[in-house]
Amino acid sequence: MSENIKDNAHLDLEELAQRRAEVYLSEQFKKLITEAEKVVEYVEPDELDLIDLNILLLDVREPEEFASGYLRKEMHLTIPRGKLEFVAIKKIFEQYGHDVEIVTYCFKGPRGLLAGEQLKKMGFTNVKCLKGGLVNWFDSGRTLKSYFGDIALANKKGQQGC
């Protein structure tokens, strides 16, 4: 019986440690986001002009996420967030310069925001982030491009599904 109590106590301690780690990481992540928001301006979906080919759209999602859709083909790069520092100078600076207008985006927003902050640290001067990422883009009634055509949400909030 005492062995069973010991085992459960150990699991309880592990669970407590995990919860504390999640809270700590969550708080640290919030700090990172707050710091990035001080240097990177947000752009709302209705402010982003996809026709303006002077704006470089930078998708920082992973390749498998990109396959689900993108904002446009022209003036669009996909550099996963984990590879940004290694690829940005070659792909962006050498081709477009350090003052090209860049709008970063991801699925929900944080990776795009942190990528924007990193680009600023790397010397890019005109960087913004799509606020709320593609989730906000869809919520505002907009579509994505894909290999099959335009993609929209099939069941928007407040609408009945089939």
65 shares its domain with 139 = yes
51 shares its domain with 115 = yes
51 shares its domain with 20 = no
Q: What's residue 121's pLDDT? A: 95
24 shares its domain with 95 = no
Q: What's residue 49's pLDDT? A: 95
Q: In whole angstroms, what is the distance from residue 8 CA to residue 1 CA?
A: 11
Q: Is residue 162 part of a domain?
A: no
Read off the pLDDT of residues 52-100 as tens digits, 9 standing for 90 and up: 999 999 999 988 888 888 998 899 998 998 899 988 888 899 999 999 9
Q: Is residue 161 part of a domain?
A: no
Task: Classify burial at 122, counting beta carbons within 10 Å of its beta carbon; exposed 0-12, middle 13-18, buried 19 or more.
Answer: middle
17 shares its domain with 28 = yes
Number of domains, the chain = 2
Confidence of residue 111 (pLDDT cuts 50, 70, 90): very high
Read off the pLDDT of residues 27-42 as tens digits, 9 standing for 90 and up: 888 999 999 999 999 9
Q: State yes or no: pLDDT of 158 exceeds 60.
A: no
Read off the pLDDT of residues 123-142 as tens digits, 9 standing for 90 and up: 999 999 999 999 999 999 99
27 shares its domain with 63 = no
141 shares its domain with 70 = yes
69 shares its domain with 144 = yes
Confidence of residue 15 (pLDDT cuts 50, 70, 90): confident
Q: Where are the beta strands (DSSP E) in 16-69?
A: 41-43, 55-59
Distances (CA, A) of 25 to 22, 32, 82: 5, 10, 18
CATH of the domain at 138: 3.40.250.10
59 shares its domain with 13 = no
Q: What's residue 160's pLDDT? A: 45
Q: Which domain holds residue 35?
A: 1-39
Q: State yes or no: pLDDT of 161 exceeds 50.
A: no
60 shares its domain with 101 = yes
- CA-nearest of 14, 110, 94 to 61 is 110
Lookup result for tokens 């947000």:
42
35 shares its domain with 77 = no
